[in-house]
Amino acid sequence: MRKFLSLCFVLSIITLVQAQNPNTNIDPYVKTYITDTKYRPDAEKQNALKAESAWHNFIAANGKWNVEFNELSGKPFRAFGKGIATEGTTIEERAMHFIQNTIQDFTPEANEYVLQSITTSKYHYINYTQQFEGLDVLFSKATLRMTTSDYKIILFGLETFADINVNTTPAINSDAAANFASADFAITVNSSTTQPELSILPVPKSDNSGYTYKLVYTVYVKTTDYNNIPGNYYTLVDAHSGEVLYRQNDVKACGAFLMDANANIEATITDNPLQPTEVRGLPYIRVTIDGVYYYADENGVLNLDFITEATEAMVSLRGTYGQVFEGEAGMDMETATVTLLPGDNYISFDSSSTATSREVSAYYHQTIVHDHAKDLYPLFSSLDFAQAIRVDRTDGECNAYYDGSSINFFAEGSGCQASALFNDVVYHEYGHAINENLYSFLGDFSGMNNGAMGEGYADIWAYTITAYPIIAQGWNYSSSSNIRRYD
């Protein structure tokens, strides 16, 4: 049911026994080509990319958009804003016209894009991958989101590459690749099988100035360790040098003895400004250790048995089902750098960071209403992603809203409390997202278009959680004030 890391996936870099030290749980056979394992967006680089002509020309033609760049490729990793008109007779034609004529400064390689999927619910979701000389470019993706009513693009993201330069003739054959892939194992290797297709792997340069490109074989190495646990290692082997560039075990082994180290990540949560606050776990919160993402469970608890000594970690105010930003255009996210030790770790996120009560409370309550919907509709997955939450907006007052891609809350002012401090307001706004997507899931792809009914059903999502008939009691500070009441 979960889209990202459950407990077993949290332990994805662990095997039960290390080959040469059975007391160590870190998998010695896992490898990665990522050297900058603690990457975070750099404000100076982001601003420099925004100042370049490609983005300047785009916003001059299309108005203000928000963007976060891939600093290595210089392309927008995610950009979103007011809808941009498209041309064409089919969705695919409109999408490609946008790629080739509206964001063409970022997509000189557009002729290498291969359509992977077009799905439709409230929006059309169009996804491409990239091929170079007929070979798949691994981990490449171009994505667009288009409105269904007037075919306007409201979001795009480019994880593609314009400067690929690689010899596509291998220097070693597939048998040699299989041997290189399995050569360093000290446990039993049952088989090493090379896939027939070669691929292109973009590898970040060590100085973060861009990418180099490797021709690679994909090899699966099947093993059995000392505890008779099978392994199936997805391995990328350089087709010119034989170097193993990347290796991950597709078998995730979870055992009771792997539950020794815990991180309990908590924050002080506001349900309503008129009520006392409570310290609660932050569900599904993300923790980064050595560049690897781990996600807590629904109680904010993370099991990390490989922590055998003091280890630095970064906790971010984002998780499986939400990520929080401040203001109408901010892209920075609250983080806390902590030290994890073997045993139990209790982390107060709001004490360890500069996060406000509005930020942590809105995050917490979005996960609550997400799970409430999943309890009722377990197969409903349209909102199983980190939807944006924007708090303390100052471009309006005394309100909150859902805009199709994020829920938004205005700051305190003009006689109103900060709207993010009301749990039922968070539930209501996320309820609009549920209404929009659940109708499509249930078979009506036009969504919920009746405005009054949409407001009413959004309230239902709220008070079926709170079991309280008054929505936003204390909205104007007094307990007699509210938005709506049903008693």
In the listed set 92, 126, 159, which residue is the last one of a domain according to the structure? Answer: 159
| Rg of the chain (C-alpha set) | 24
Based on the fold, state whether residues 127 and 60 are members of the same structural domain: yes
Based on the fold, state whether residues 99 and 175 are members of the same structural domain: no
Based on the fold, state whether residues 451 and 423 are members of the same structural domain: yes
β-bridge pairing 322-326 and 311-319: antiparallel
**Predicted pLDDT of residue 443:** 64
> How would you write the pLDDT of the chain (487 residues) with one tens digit per residue?
333 333 333 323 223 223 333 333 468 898 988 876 555 678 889 999 999 999 999 999 999 998 989 999 999 988 999 999 999 999 999 999 999 999 999 999 999 999 998 988 778 999 999 999 999 999 899 999 999 999 999 999 999 999 999 999 999 999 999 999 999 999 999 999 999 999 999 999 988 889 999 999 999 999 998 777 888 999 999 999 999 999 988 775 544 333 346 899 999 999 999 999 999 999 999 999 999 999 999 999 998 878 878 899 999 999 999 999 999 988 889 999 999 988 889 999 998 999 999 999 999 999 999 999 999 888 888 898 999 999 999 999 999 999 888 999 999 999 999 999 999 999 999 999 998 888 777 766 556 666 678 788 899 999 899 999 999 999 999 999 999 999 8
Based on the fold, state whether residues 177 and 92 are members of the same structural domain: no
Based on the fold, state whether residues 103 and 195 are members of the same structural domain: no
Return the closest-CA partner of residue 9 out of 335, 303, 229: 303
- Amino acid letter, 402: Y
- Measured at the alpha carbon of residue 407, what is the angle toward residues 435 and 155, in degrees to the nearest 5? 90
Based on the fold, state whether residues 125 and 174 are members of the same structural domain: no
Based on the fold, state whether residues 96 and 172 are members of the same structural domain: no
**Predicted pLDDT of residue 327:** 92
**Predicted pLDDT of residue 256:** 33
β-bridge pairing 262-269 and 344-348: parallel
**Position 480 in a domain:** yes
Instruction: Measure the CA–CA gap between 106 and 222, rounded to whole angstroms.
Output: 41
Q: What CATH number does residue 94 fall under?
A: 3.30.310
Instruction: Measure the CA–CA gap between 185 and 267, rounded to whole angstroms.
Output: 44
DSSP tag of 411: P
Based on the fold, state whether residues 153 and 179 are members of the same structural domain: no
Q: What are phi and psi of 107, to 5 degrees?
A: -130, 50
**Position 315 in a domain:** no
In the listed set 140, 159, 178, which residue is the last one of a domain according to the structure? Answer: 159
**Position 185 in a domain:** yes
Where in the sequence is the domain holding 454, given as residue range(s)?
Answer: 379-485
Based on the fold, state whether residues 215 and 155 are members of the same structural domain: no
Based on the fold, state whether residues 416 and 441 are members of the same structural domain: yes
**Predicted pLDDT of residue 21:** 34
Based on the fold, state whether residues 408 and 469 are members of the same structural domain: yes
Structure tokens at 402: 């859902």
Give the number of domains in the chain.
3
Q: Model's pTM, two decimal places?
A: 0.53
Torsion of CA 12, 18, 22, 25, to 10 degrees: -30
Instruction: Measure the CA–CA gap between 473 and 487, rounded to whole angstroms.
Output: 13
Q: What CATH number does residue 191 fall under?
A: 3.10.450.40
Three-state SS string over 6-72 comes to CHHHHCCCECCCCCCCCCCCECCCCECCCCCCCCCCCHHHHHHHHHCHHHHHHHHHHCCEEEEECCC
Instruction: Measure the CA–CA gap between 420 and 274, rounded to whole angstroms.
Output: 13
**Position 29 in a domain:** no
**Predicted pLDDT of residue 447:** 60
**Position 352 in a domain:** no
Structure tokens at 240: 């010119």
In the listed set 126, 142, 159, which residue is the last one of a domain according to the structure? Answer: 159
Give every CB contact of residue 328 below 8 A, 6+ residues apart in sequence.
390, 393, 394, 395, 408
| 264-303 burial code (b ≥16 CB/10 A, e <16) | bbbbbbbbbbeeeeeebbbbbbbbbbeeeebbbbeebbbb
**Position 11 in a domain:** no
**Predicted pLDDT of residue 1:** 31
